[in-house]
Amino acid sequence: MDYNILISNLTNPPLLYFALGTLAVLVKSDLAIPENSMKFISLYLLFAIGFKGGQELAYGGVDGEVLRGLAFGLVISASIPVYVFFLLRKRLSAEDAGAVAAAYGSVSAVTFVTAVSFLEALKINFGGHMVAVMALMESPAIISGVVLMRLYGKKNKDAESLGSIVKHSFTNGSVLMILGSLIIGFLSDPQQAQGIKPFTNDIFKGFLAIFLLEMGMVTARRLGSFRKYGLYLSAFAVILPLFNGVLVAFLSGFITVSPGDRLMFAVLAASASYIAVPAAMKIAAPSADPGLYIPMSLGITFPVNITIGLPLYMAVVTNT
């Protein structure tokens, strides 16, 4: 691993604000960001990354490599929940194992956005189609998790149909915003798009820093409720994403030669959803414990990815 990259990532201002948010909770500070402001910032980040991705996709065009990338992302998303489910099934109920499996097969838009900032610091480009890959990876993981629950768990009469779950995963606000922004960016006239470039580019990192400040506070609050599950699941939330990220960082070399795209594939495979999946699980598996899969994905896997994971996956990409 390149320790200069690790140190650079650890001293990245947005990440330091994440640490500040964690510290604020630990010292019981009254620091708080208004909920409405956080909703706006969340939508802004999805809007900006989607629009920029659409512009890049329009500039580069849709070719065989783009289609291979989309297919590769779908395979990753559908397959990860399968082995995650069976690794956890002996210790957890089918509903809990399925929810965790869906979370780890799905993706974290915030981890993706942090990876964008990481690549920008290294002056490495990535394809705009990776935004589409991220958006498409939400649903296959949710479907896989729900199918596994139904095959190995108790029948839930209150659960909605699989079709309703799929529809919900695509109409989820975060997914709709990033897919919609991707399409708008793709269709927009390049000269007209320059008019909003200061909004989509120049202030991006500032809003990301504020968002990660809030994520640090949320993480610190939710970790306490996770302690009852023991050391095994904590270790699982550390080791699994690093394994997935390193594996896909290597395998992605058969799909593309772009270092930026390969890192993004690794990050998508390593990240875990704590927005779309919890929303879907409220419908698909109301008996699954959100105090399990949300702290695992947000409280452990997220900080592991943005501190250790990003430089580790980059090291694999540059050395294979």
Cβ-based burial of 57 (10 A; exposed 0-12, middle 13-18, buried ≥19): buried
Cβ-based burial of 32 (10 A; exposed 0-12, middle 13-18, buried ≥19): exposed
**Joined tokens for residue 18:** 């994440």
Best CA proximity match to 138, nearest among 247, 41, 289, 271: 271
**Joined tokens for residue 48:** 């900006």
Q: For residue 251, what pLDDT is reported?
A: 97
Give mean pLDDT in consecutive 10-residue pieces for the chain, a chain of 320 residues: 59 82 92 88 82 78 85 94 94 91 90 88 88 82 84 63 64 72 87 85 85 81 71 92 97 95 97 78 77 83 91 94
- Report CA-CA distances (Å) from 114 to 277, 317, 320: 20, 18, 23
Average pLDDT over the chain, rounded to an integer: 84
Q: What global pTM score does this model have?
A: 0.76
Residue entry with tokens 């990220």: 245
Alpha-carbon distance 313 to 264, whole Å? Answer: 9
- Report CA-CA distances (Å) from 210 to 42, 207, 213, 215, 295: 10, 5, 5, 9, 20
Sign of the alpha-carbon torsion through 177, 246, 207, 59: negative
Q: For residue 291, what pLDDT is reported?
A: 74
Q: For residue 7, what pLDDT is reported?
A: 64
Q: For residue 175, what pLDDT is reported?
A: 66
Residue entry with tokens 């294979």: 320
User: From the DSSP assignment, how many helices (H) and strands (E) are in the chain?
Assistant: 19, 0
Residue 234, SS3 per DSSP = helix
Best CA proximity match to 266, nearest among 212, 196, 215, 319: 319
Q: For residue 6, what pLDDT is reported?
A: 58
CB 128 within 8 Å of CB 56? yes
Alpha-carbon distance 300 to 218, whole Å? Answer: 12
Q: For residue 45, what pLDDT is reported?
A: 82
CB 162 within 8 Å of CB 147? yes
Residue entry with tokens 């452990």: 300
Number of neighbouring beta carbons within 10 Å of residue 96: 24
Residue entry with tokens 């580790």: 312
CATH topology of domain 3-11+34-200+218-319: Na+/H+ antiporter like fold (1.20.1530)
